[in-house]
Structure 1
Amino acid sequence: MENPSLLGMLSKQVGVSPAALSLLLSIFAGYPLSIIHRKFFYGKPAHIQHLYFIVTGLGIGYLNYGTEILHAVFAVVFSYLTMVVFRGNEICVAITFFFNMIYLLIGYYYSSTLNYDINWTMPQCVLVLRLIGTAFDYYDGNQPEGELSATSKKLALTKRPSFGEYCGLMFFPGSFLVGPQFPMRRYQDFVAGKFSSTEGKPPNCIDPALKRLGLGVMYLAIFQVVGIFVNDDFILSESFVEMSFIKRYFLIGVWGRIALYKYISCWLITEGACIMFGVTHNGKDEAGNIKWDGLANVDIVRFETATEFNHYIQSFNINTNHWVAQYVYKRLKFLGNRHLSQGSALLFLAIWHGFHSGYYTCFIFEFMVMYMEKDWQGILKKNPHVAAIFQKKPMDTLSYIALRIYTFGFMGWCMIPFALLTFSKYWQAYGAVNYMGIVLFLMWPIVYSPIIKIIAKATRPKETTSQVAREHAE
């Protein structure tokens, strides 16, 4: 990575940009760095481990972004001083939240292009969530315990972290560049050696780390090979438009999956590095075996067998979704409306990603998709005799196949604005597949839902007065 010409030659050979290849090599660097930590630093005094994480994390940051990594240093120092001055009160949270979000957005404004950018704002957006989350945890630690949720009690910081452990978490080399997110309490327990079954010795987690690495490499290979044939240029081409709708539907699903595999492969590889460090400890299973999935960012089985979009949400970018649920969605409980809280959380995610209209369009459709699916599930709940039809053979098999086809193709549809970013590109791609998502999702509450509810009500068995009263109560 220190030789631009060598990096350029390698990037040309593998068909990626030098910045992307540098980032990928830095992600793989988590493995030798974890081995060095296990051999020379594990079990050593906390301040020595903090220093190792700070130096190595900033080192790989510098190799990728040069002196622009000082943006991250400034944000960390400023946020820590905010905790020192305001001691974890509401002002501390507010300043940390708005300062870091505004700083990130200014960075997007001056450095973003019309394409997907790999620059200093990438680790910065990961860092922003960690800084804000730590401020919230410190705030929770200063609140009466009885007012906290079960999750907040586990994460709350009753004492301000030292500057060394604060920086050690923020620049942790296994997650500094692309995540995953994890809280200060997990970092503190890890450094204290609480995740090892033998005191003073590194945890036995090499095998699960290598398995995750192998899975990540497999997904990376699929992304590289299939992406040669099904890529952004392909779905924007005339040859794609000229295909039959069935072919276009299938290929947009393939394209969407390949677009997601780019993220999945990186997350799996970084998760493997975090496992090898030993920071992913997640208790024991029923057989008494230690689980190392505490920082899993993707549930491969659920993702690949999804029959509804909620399965994708539950299985994709898990740690960020947990972060948003803990620090945004649940904190908006005072709004008194689930849809308002959900919409606000999605708006936050869109803003956090940047200014491209594609992000906002993508999250609008996510809201509409979830609204449609929950509405449909509500209809079935109120019509158990209709739901029972879908559970009988062969309807259960046909229903499963239909849902797999639905989620496969429409996930590609939902990825269009997120991947293409600019209106001219994603609107062209929408047109190439007959605006099918607009026809289905945006028209659902206006046309389809009322009609289905009328039909369902007309075909319902005659209800007793108590049943009607119970339905209204629900």
Structure 2
Amino acid sequence: METESNVLAKIGNLVGSSEAALRLLLSVFAGYPLALLHRKYIYGKEPNLQHTYFFVTGFALGYFNYGLDILHPLTAMLVTYLILIVFGGTVLAVVTSFVFNMGYLLIGYYCVGTDNYDINWTMPQCIIVLRLIGLTYDVYDGQQPPETLSKDSKKVALEKVPAFLETCGYVFFPTSFLVGPQFPLTRYREYVAGKYGEGNKHPPNSVEAAVKRLALGVMFLMLFLILGRFVSDEYIISDEFNNINFLKKGFLLGVWGRFTLYKYISCWLLTEGACILFGITYNGENEQGVKEWNGVENVKVSLLENATEFNHYILSFNINTNTWVAQYIYKRLKFLGNRYYSQGITLLFLAVWHGFHSGYYVCFTLEFIVMYLEKDLKSIIKSNAKATAFFERPAVKIAVFILLRIYTFVFMGWCLLPFALLTYDRYWHVFRALNHIGFVIFCLYPIVYGPLLRMLLKSKSTTTHQD
């Protein structure tokens, strides 16, 4: 008889997927029957029963994907919990947890990483690292005077170390620890307590919302598979791509960028749908009194697909990780007194969190530069009355909108090249094929175009004032 691994490998070959990717996809879809079982038999029951269910099912999915390597995330959780027990809500606990979890993750990257996009135990590990560090911060914040905390920190602060079984269920929640999304223990605790249900221990009325998200996830998965037939990573670094004309390269680069984004978007939408089916995504009621289920939304599809600036991508893509980083890294750097220093360190943290490949560092450096360009350009135009009036003209607005749609479509692909291709020889090959156009536009802006444009518009403004 064929082993399970051989069967999955053959199925993966048929659909053009690796065995590891197929296991992960099956685990994401497994979240739906697990949610249905919880809704039917366990929702509203004694908390420890629910914690046990979440831990056992989550750990089982981890074992299905990574075998005994799932003991690495378990070890990280156990050590972090021990840190909290020994040091409590202190600065020492935060520092120790941060150093241990990031160190463990980086050692994992060093030991098992390759030059390709790896699906191994470091994937859930990187999710759990943020969850454990955030948990330590929340316990620390719970010991601080409330008036010293930000509004967001007050919502998630914990007055004491959570119970061990509760921590297990939270960390290994079956539809969030493999690929995200991130959410605080306070949300998990409210959900287990039945606060998101319909009363009398009835499960949340979230089935319709879950089905919609599932359908959207399947649609993006299909788009990813279709686009992969035309603009795979292998194609983008091939001689065939290198030899086509420049404009076609730009268009295909934009299509490849969408292909790359859809890989993540489809997975996040599918796992978010399972989270919605559990009911842990409750986010209050809208103005019409209808319950909303976007509490752990990781992708704003409409904003992403209609982006006219790179900030739209940041606001609409991997939202929960961005929120986590903003709360636990960026806002904690206020003492530096300079937002660019804070942004730079935050992006450096994200690069390190992803791993050692140079592509991560190039990608987040490009993000820093592009965001600087967009903010500075807006500031320059806003400071000049004539420029502002010019861009308010209806015809100009339409033209600018079209140009910005092309700009974001093409250059999102450019900025994703190092992130997706990872190694210098691969992403630099594509940069060279595109005549380094992104570097000409973005990297020269702070030292050439920006100062020149600022001086020109200031000069015109001064001349007009004198006249």
Identity rate, percent: 56
Alpha-carbon separation, structure 1, partners of 2:439 and 2:389: 30
State the distance in 1 between where 2:390 and 2:240 align: 41
Q: Deviations over 1:174-194 (max 9, x none)?
A: 101000000000000000000
Q: Deviations over 1:15-63 (max 9, x none)?
A: 0100000000000000000000001100000000000001000000001
> Which piece of structure 1 moves more, 381-390 or 336-345?
381-390
Partner of 1:211: 212
Q: For residue 116 of structure 2, what is the aligned residue in structure 1?
A: 115
Q: Could you say which residue in structure 1 is the equivalent of 2:340?
A: 339
Secondary structure of the structure 1 residue equivalent to 2:228 = helix
Q: Deviations over 1:196-249 (max 9, x none)?
A: 132301011000001000000000001001111111111112221222211111
Residues 377 and 2 from structure 1, CA distance in 2 versus in 1: closer, same or farther, beyond 3 angstroms?
Answer: farther
User: Which residue of the partner structure matches residue 352 of structure 1?
Assistant: 353
Q: Partner amino acid for 1:312?
A: Y
Question: Deviations along 1:288-318, whole A, 9 cap, x unmatched?
Answer: 0000000000000000000000000000000
1:100-139 CA distance string (max 9 Å, x none)? 0000000000000010000000000000000000100000
Q: Tell me how far apart the structure 2 counterparts of residues 208 and 445 of structure 1 sit (CA, whole Å).
A: 45
Give the residue type in structure 2 aligned to 1:7.
L
Contact 1:123 / 1:178 at 8 angstroms: preserved in 2?
A: yes
* Equivalent residue runs for 1:126-145 within 5 Å: 126-145=127-146
Return the alpha-carbon distance in structure 1 between the equivalents of residues 61 and 271 of structure 2. 14
Q: Is the contact made by 2:265 and 2:299 (CA closer than 8 Å) also made in structure 1?
A: yes
Alpha-carbon distance in 2 for matches of 1:199, 1:285: 23
Give the conservation status (yes or no) of the 8 Å contact 1:134–1:183.
Answer: yes
Matched residue, 1:189: 190
CA offset at residue 6 of structure 1?
1.1
The one-letter code of the counterpart of 2:66 is Y
Alignment of 1:120-269 (within 5 A): 120-269=121-270
1:452: which partner in 2? 453
SS, match of residue 262 in structure 1: helix
What do the CA deviations read for 1:264-296 (whole angstroms, capped 9, x no partner)?
Answer: 000000000000000000000000000000000
TM-score by length of 2: 0.98
Superposition map of 1:32-47 within 5 A = 32-47=33-48
Does the CA contact (< 8 Å) of 2:344 and 2:368 recur in 1?
A: yes
Distance 1:36 1:388 in 2: 59
Alpha-carbon distance in 2 for matches of 1:434, 1:257: 21
Contact 2:242 2:430 in 1 (8 A): no
Equivalent residue pairs, number: 465
- Check whether the contact 2:181–2:268 (CA below 8 A) recurs between aligned residues: yes
Secondary structure of 2:114's counterpart equals: coil
Structure 2 CA distance, aligned partners of 1:347 and 1:381?
A: 30
Shift of 1:2: 7.1
> What is the distance in 1 between the residues matched to 2:443 and 2:214?
40
Q: More deviation in 376-385 or 137-146?
A: 376-385
SS at match of 2:89: coil
Residue in 2 that maps onto 1:26 = 27
The answer for unaligned runs of 5 or more in structure 2 is none
Alpha-carbon distance in structure 1 between the residues aligned to 2:425 and 2:239: 15
Q: Tell me by how many angstroms 1:385 deviates.
A: 2.1
Read off the aligned partner of 1:296 and give its amino acid letter.
Answer: E
Residues 425-446 of structure 1, C-alpha deviations (whole Å, 9 max, x = no match): 0000101111111101110011
Q: Which residue of 2 aligns with 1:294?
A: 295
Deviations 1:125-172 (A, max 9, x none): 000000000100000000000000111100100121100111111000
Amino acid at match of 2:73: A
Measured after TM superposition, the shift of residue 462 of structure 1 is 5.4
Whether 1:99 aligns to 2:95 is no
2:368 alignment partner in structure 1: 367
- CA distance in structure 1 between the partners assigned to 2:271 and 2:337 by the alignment: 38
Residues 79-94 of structure 1 aligned to structure 2 (within 5 Å): 79-94=80-95
Moved more, 297-306 or 448-457: 448-457
Q: Deviations over 1:55-96 (max 9, x none)?
A: 000000001000010011111011001111111100010111
Secondary structure at 1:460 match in 2: helix
Output the CA distance in 1 between the equivalents of 2:87 and 2:465. 60
Aligned equivalents of 1:42, 1:244: Cα separation in 2: 59
Instruction: For residue 330 of structure 1, give the secondary structure of its aligned residue in structure 2.
Output: helix
Amino acid at match of 2:12: S
Shift in CA distance, 2/54, structure 1 to aligned 2, threshold 3 Å: farther
Partner SS, residue 394 of structure 2: coil
1:229 partner SS: coil
Query: Cα deviation per residue 1:385-431 (whole Å; 9 max; x = unaligned)?
Result: 20221121210000000000001000000000000000000000101
**SS of 1:29 mapped into structure 2:** helix
Q: Secondary structure at the match of 2:13?
A: helix
Secondary structure in structure 1 of the residue aligned to 2:259: helix
Q: How many Å separate the matches in 2 of 1:463 and 1:202?
A: 67
Give me the whole-angstrom Cα distance separating, in 2, the residues matched to 1:388 and 1:180: 43
Partner of 1:424: 425
- What does residue 380 of structure 1 align with? 381
Give the corresponding residue for 2:402.
401
Moved more, 226-235 or 258-267: 226-235
Q: Distance in 1 between matches of 2:43 and 2:365?
A: 46
Q: 1 CA distance for matches of 2:30 and 2:167?
A: 22
TM superposition score normalised by structure 1? 0.97
Q: Matched residues in 2 for 1:464 and 1:450: separation?
A: 21
Assess if the C-alpha contact under 8 Å between 1:2 and 1:63 holds in 2: no
